[in-house]
Each structure stands twice: as C-alpha cells, then as structure tokens.
Structure 1
Amino acid sequence: MADVIAQSHGGDGGGCDPPRGPSNIPFDCERAPPNKHGHHKGLNTREKREQLGRPLPLEWDVRGRTYKEIGDYNSNFSREFGLLVRQYTDPDCPQWSKVPNASKQRILAYLEDDLFDIGCTRYGEGHMLGILGGIDTSRAKKYSDWKYDIKEHLTINGPQNRYGGCTDTQWQKAIEFFRRPEITKRSVVNKENQKKLKELSYGGSQSIPTLRYKKVFKYDSIKDEPPAEGTPQKVTLSPNVVSQPFRNFVEIIFENHEKSLQSWHLAGYSFFAAAIGLGKWSPEQRKNYNLLDAVSRHTIQVFPKSYAAILLTFDNAGMWNLRSELTENRYLGQQLYISVLSPARSLRDEYNIPDNALLCGIVKKLPFPPPYTI
C-alpha cells in the first residue's frame, strides 16, 4: 500500500495542470506570507502610483508555488482587476475561457503598462508561467463574480432595471445570455438539486461533501504515516478514501516488502518520480531526491525490498484511484481513492455530474451533489 502520504500546505492559486518542468518542484513548501497593511491605507490605486512615481510592484507567492497575489498592493490589484474585467468584457460567455483573447490581453496590457509591475524582471522567466496562471485565475474569479451579481439583480429586479455595474449594451447581452434555453435549463436543474440538498446544508457549506457521503464512506480512515512496527492494528472493512485539499503539494512513498516487482498507477495525474532506493524509506532519503530533471509519469515501479518516492500537486478536482497494477494485489485491497474538492465550486475546476447519470447501489436514492457554477 501507499505507506506514507506526507502533507504540506494547501494553496489556492497557480495553473490547472501539473508542474510543467523539473524547476517547478518545490522542495520546502511554505505557506504564503500574510497580507501586509500599513502606510498606504486610505489612498486609491492611482494616488499610490503617483506617490511611488512608477507602476506599483506586485508580489506573488512564488515560494509556495500558489502564485497568488500578496503584499502591499494586492487589494488594489484585486479592485482594479474587477473594474477592468467589467469594462473590457461582456457577460455573455459561458465561462472565462470563452472570453475573446483580445479582451484578456487588453486587460493585462493596461494593468502592466499603466498601474502595476507584475514582475517580469524581478521574478525572471522561470516564474512567469506561474504568475500569468495566477493572474488568469484572478480574472476568471472576477468574471464569475460579476456574472453572478448581474444574474441576481436580473432575477430580483427584472430586465427593466439595469444593473449599475454594467453598460446598456452589456445589460442587453446579459439578458439574452441568461434567457438562452440551455442556460435556463441548467438553472432549473441547479435549483432542484439545491432543494434536494437543503436538509444537508445546516452544518454549513463545508460540511456538504462529508454529510452527503457519510452513509457511503468515511474520509481518512488511514493516517498520513503508518503505525510504528509492533503496534497492534485493527482491521476495518470499508472504502479507503483519502481527502486532499485542492492544489495541495504532497509526497507519496511506496514501500515493497515482497519478493516480486510492484507497479502503482494514479488516475487523473502526472507525478514526478523523485527517488528509488533499497530498503525502507526514511526522511534522510530526501537529500537524494532528484529535483532537477525528474521524469513526469502516471505509473511507477517499486522493486522488491525497495521504496519509491513521488511528488505532485493535487490540482485536478475529482475522485481519483491510486491502485496496484497487479490485478491480484488490487483485488486483495492494494488500492485507495483520493478525493480532491475545489473550495471555489467552479466549473473551471470540475464539471457537474450529467443530469442523466445513472446511480446504483447505496447512492441510488441520494440527491446529486450541489452543482458547480461558472
């Protein structure tokens, strides 16, 4: 089995794919520094820029690899970003990825040339891909929030009363968008699903996934580290589901105590094979990890009486199977599931279950989970 799952921090920025190169493997993940507040309080973005005499330098969480905006000017960046998204886009696209590239580039160019320094020189080319991914995540969030506000206003006040956060043209496009048959149908299905789940939401939105599946399985029935040798172990017959925060960076250690080769596969991800060695794994082995040109793969072999170490970021939301590739071993229990839930509950991270999906077994009569939104 996977003997060790050593957790690090949970981030909330960065791109949607696994790290794109060996240089993107963080060795000692640290939490993003807290936001700073102080001497700029009370000044708007343009006043701060005029006072500084140059574009405001933005800081990014490059150490934690979340590439979330941090530092003195992150609140100004967020506010200006929201204004520019409303100014240069129209609320008639299903999601941010469908917004014309010309509009996206216009927003980025305006921010970089006039108000902010995003750090091309300060951070170097090695971090620019991550920084641009973090910026795109922020733009998508602002666009989604804007459309949500428009829809709420339209639902409450009707089409005659324009939402104050958009122009007449944008308002008309929003009305046409939300009246599309496919959008209307999805909205009806979402409302019905929310009604079914009403009784599950009393504990708060964070408890919905746990409450929904409490009759099916329990999270984290195994711990991150195996018990000490000689410790009595209680055998439990139940589904083995490990919960992981979205975009959490982890290290997984496989140990093979048998006399034959083992092979392990992780669905939904590519990971970096950082080390293979003889005997049992220990923390001292980390100094031998290959952090320069580790191979990205989705299956790894573990030799007899040996161990293998892999590194990856759980940035693909869903329920994923980690299993032995040997059928007889898998049948005997050498597999588990890893549940990765996105706190944003956005279609950018995970699709909804199809409306016509067939349910069976113990979940047959359970309602669908709360639908994700744009």
Structure 2
Amino acid sequence: VADEVRKLAERSAKSAEEISQLVATVQDAANQAVAAMEENDQQVQQGLATAGDAEQALAGISTAMAQVREQMKQLQGAVADLSGSSQQVQDVMQQVAGVIEENLTSTASLSAGQEPLQQAMEEIASVAEENSAAAEEVAASAEENSASVEEISAMTKNVNIQVEQMTDAVQSLASMATDLQSIVATFQLQGRQVVENTAAPSSSRNEPAWPSPKADNDYAPAVPSTSHSAASVAPAANGKRKSTFVWDESMATGDDKVDEQHRVLIDMINGLIQAMQEGRGRQQLDELLTRLERYTDEHFAWEEHCMAEHNCPIADVNKTAHGRFVQMVAETRQRFEAEGASTELVLAIKGNLGEWFMKHIRRIDTNLNGCIHGEKEKAGTHRQPAHR
C-alpha cells in the first residue's frame, strides 16, 4: 500500500508539473494573442487612415473631372470660333484673288509696246507670284486647322495640348492675314505706280519705273535727315524710291559709333523692303540673316559697354531687350535652315526689324544721350567721352 501511495504521489507530482507547464504555455499563447490583437488594432487604424486618404483622392478626381468637362465646353466654343475664322480666311482669299485678277486685267489693258511699261509689268508679275504663294500658304494653313478641329473632337484625353495647338493656329492665321493685307497693299501701290508712269509725259518714260537691284552684299547708306519722322515708301520725283526708315538727329545717342551702327541697321531694313518690292525678298534672306548675326555681336556688345560706362539707369532693360532680339534672329535662322526662304518668313523678319527700330532705337537707345551729357555736366567740362 505504501508503494502504491508513493507511486500515486509521484504521478501526482508529475501531473502537477505537466499542469504547470501547460499553464505557462497557455500564458505564452495568451500574451502572443494580446500582442497580435494590438498589432491588428494598429493595422486597422492605418486602414482607416488609408480609407480617408482614398476618400480625399476620389473627391479630387471628381473635381478634376468637373474641370475637364468645363474645359471640353470651352474647347467646343473655341472649335466653333476657329471654324468661323477659317471661313473668314477663305472669304479674304477669294477677295484677294479678285483684286489680283483685277490688277492683272488693268495691267494687260495698258500699252504693252512701251519698254518702261513692260518692265513694270514684269515687276507686277513678280509681286503677283509672291501674293499667290502667300495665298497658297494661307489655304494650306486653313486646311491644317480644319484637320486639327476634327482631331480635337476625337482625342478628348489630350485636351490641354490640343487647346494650345488651336491657340497657336489662331495666332498664325491672324499673323498671316496681317501679312496678306501688307502684300495686297504693296501690290496695289505698285499698280498705281504703273498707271502714274503710263500717264506721265513721254520725256519721263525713258527712265525705268522701278530701281534696279543694288550691288551684292551692300545697300545704299542711310542719309541723315533733319526730319523727326520716318518717310513712307513712295516713288520720288526722279523715279527713285525714298527710304522707308530714315535716321535723324532725334535718334542720336551721343556716341558716334553707336549712331553709325544704327545707320547700318536702317540700311539693312530699307534694303530688305526694297528687295521685297523688287520680288527679291526671299533671295536676300540668307544674306540678311548673316549680316544681322554679325551686327548683333558687334553692336550690342559696344552699346552695352557704353551704357555701363556712363551708368545709364536703363542699361539692364537694354541688355534684356538685346537678348530677346538675338533669340529672334537665332529662331529665324533655324526656321530658314529647316523650311527654306518663304514669303511668310521674309514678312516676319521685316515686321520684327521695323518694330525694333520704332520701339527700341527711338525709345531706349536714345537714353544713352542723356547719360553721356549728364556726366559732362557733372564733371563741369565739355570734353569728349574717352571711349569715342
């Protein structure tokens, strides 16, 4: 009995030990379950935050979709406006064609047997050719715009890109329409000159109706004038054309070298205009760009040096404008290399040069004169500046 009791006691002790181990195991499992619950709670909190972010993102997407719908409405309005503009361009082209035909008819009705008149007719034919080329370019641009309208309607995913393209197309059409009006005005001016030469006394008909081309690489120098306004393009009494832009004392900067360089630029502008009037504008474009590139390198550096030396307040404005002009010449050169000489490119650079003459040389460069004379007054002497 004692042995049985002892065995039972041993078994009881062993069972108690096993129960203790089981209790420890259960406690470990409980601790792990608590840790897992805490981790799951954090994940639930993160999930809730992610859900909030997703809700905000969906709200932003909804707002963006509303903006896209509004842009689509605006785009449809722009498409409608562009369609109307294309029709207006076609109407203008038809009117221009009618004017060209009328001018050609009037020219054909003149006495073809007279040598000066024959020469003038050849000049008019050259201008008519440039007019036709410009009209063809406008027509091609109108067709491209019509194709762009159809493409925009189909490609709704590229709304912003298409809007920019349409804006550029409208600006191009407006620029071409302005250029076309300039060409028509030039053509009508030459037509009137033909009529005037025909009606003139026989003694004056022995002179050519239009000036002959100038020598290569050179244009006639700009003659200083006491007038304070630029002369318009019109035949003079002796049969020669007046310069469109004329340098006068109101454009003096106080520095002889700067003034001489300005005269060179005026020569280039007048030379380009005369070449256009003689139907040689596109042939002169490469040479003009080369001269402009050399001119900007030399003239801008010297003029900026003068303004800095005389502490001109407008020096920074002048330098910024020079940078824009250099960029314009570089972009024109790139277009010339890529597309070749075209009437549109000739008209564009003529407009840029004319604007530079009126807005920069007359309004900005002339400030140098006040700076130079201001320093003389401060110094109390009338000696010439050292850089001259």
Pick the TM interval, shorter chain: under 0.3
Higher relative contact order (CA 8 A, sep 6+): 1
TM-score by length of 1: 0.26
More strand by share: 1
More helix by share: 2
* Higher Rg: 2
TM-score by length of 2: 0.25
